[in-house]
Structures are given as C-alpha cells and as structure tokens.
Amino acid sequence: MIAFPPDWESQDVLKQAALERLEKAADSSDDLIALFETDAASEYDARHLYAMLEPMLPGWPQPIASYFRRWQADERNHYSGLRRLWSLASGRQERQLDLKFSAREPDFGPLADLLTDPFRLMVALAYDERVTVQAYAVDYSLYDRLGPAFGRWVRLTNRDEAFHYRNAIKIVRSLYSHRLHDVSEILERLLAHDLARTPYRATFLLDHDDGGLYFTEARLRKCAKIVGRHLS
C-alpha cells in the first residue's frame, strides 16, 4: 500500500559542509539561525507526537503503525541535519539545541479530537505534510546558494516529506473510503486552527502560527485544496 524512499543520513550528506557562502545566502547569519532553529523545532517535536501515539498504534490498522515507525525515523534524521546546520550558522554546539528543545513540554489538548481517531489524524497529517513540502520548496534557492551539500540535503528532506504526504493519502483512501465525505469538514477545522494563528505547542502538527512567507492564508488554503482533491 505504501512505499518508502531509500534510507539516507543527514550527517553523511552534510559531513563536508561549511558555510563559506554564508554572506551570499541570506542578509545575515541571524536569518539563517532563525530559519534552521524554527524548522528544527518542528522536526524535533515529531518525537512528542510519536510518543503520544505509540501506545495506540497496536490497536490501529497495521499500515498506520508501519507509516509512523518510518515517519518518526525520517523526522529524527531531518532534525539531525537541521541541528548541524544551526550549529554551523551559530557557532554553537549541537547539544545546546537539544537542551533547548528538550526543556519544552508539548500540549496536545487543542488537538485531542484528531489524535484518537486514526482517520482524522491521517487527514490532518496529510495536510500538515503538504504544507511542509511547499515550505521547504520555497527555500531551495537559499540552500543552493549555501553550497551543493545543502541543496542536496534540503531536496532529500523534502522528498521524504512528499512520501509522507503521498503515503498518508494512500492510507486514507485505502482504509477509510467510506469516510471521505468527512474530509472537507476536517480540512476546514485545520484551516480555522491555522488561520487563527493558534500558538504552536511543540506538537509537530500544525506548526503554522507564523503567518509570514511560508504560511500565508493563500498558501494554506491551496494546500488544503490539494489534499481535498486527492481525497475526493
């Protein structure tokens, strides 16, 4: 039912990376630090979501359990890469970012209705991953200016995110074809959450409270429309 991309390791792709082209890639190193730290936070928080879901997975359909096992491994690998990039840009040790993120506590309360129903969760994840795919793509040119290793890393990362999206769509269509009439209502609920700029609470899902370049209303609505079309 679902397919996975070849395994790869961020540390292997970035082991020779150095930010010698820093001045050409962004207005300042602070811009890069902020970009890498923001993206790293979301990728780190995948472990919070997985920890929340793990006790429920044995009672859910097997394809969903398989999906999340691979998904959490991919997100850890993405975090490893972003932590490396953050360290290069900031001159600080990678473990300092680990310590910063580990001090936060996730709050899944506002998302409780999504987490106990695998159908609703997979629709929400499809939407979230679709938003992520378009967000990483916005930065391709920036990563390319940093150097070949950086451009390769961001494309491998986004390839994984695209697989996450496609696999979520496949699971929903295969297991829950009898509930597809509910997709539009779920997407409207997700959009309402995002467009209210509800503060992000270290949950991985719906980390779109910044309405800037990546998560404008137009971009979010476009992503929801794509998901709706693929689940119609």
In sequence order, what DSSP letters do the residues of the chain get, joined into one string? ----PPP--HHHHHTT---TTHHHHSS-HHHHHHHHHHHHHHHHTHHHHHHHHTTTGGGS-HHHHHHHHHHHHHHHHHHHHHHHHHHHHH---HHHHHHHHHT-----GGGHHHHS-HHHHHHHHHHHHHHHHHHHHHTHHHHHHH-HHHHHHHHHHHHHHHHHHHHHHHHHHHH-GGGGGGHHHHHHHHHHHHHTTPPP-S-STT-----SSTT-HHHHHHHHHHHHHHT-
Per-residue pLDDT of the chain (232 residues; tens, 9 = 90+): 788 989 999 999 998 777 655 544 555 678 889 999 999 999 999 999 999 999 999 999 999 999 999 999 999 999 999 999 999 889 899 999 999 999 999 999 999 999 999 999 999 999 999 999 999 999 999 999 888 999 999 999 999 999 999 999 999 999 999 999 999 999 999 999 999 999 999 999 999 988 778 999 999 999 999 999 999 9
What CATH number was assigned to the domain covering residues 23-230?
A: 1.20.1260
At residue 182, the pLDDT reads 98
At residue 105, the pLDDT reads 95
At residue 27, the pLDDT reads 54
At residue 17, the pLDDT reads 76
At residue 21, the pLDDT reads 52
**pTM of the predicted model, to two decimals?**
0.94
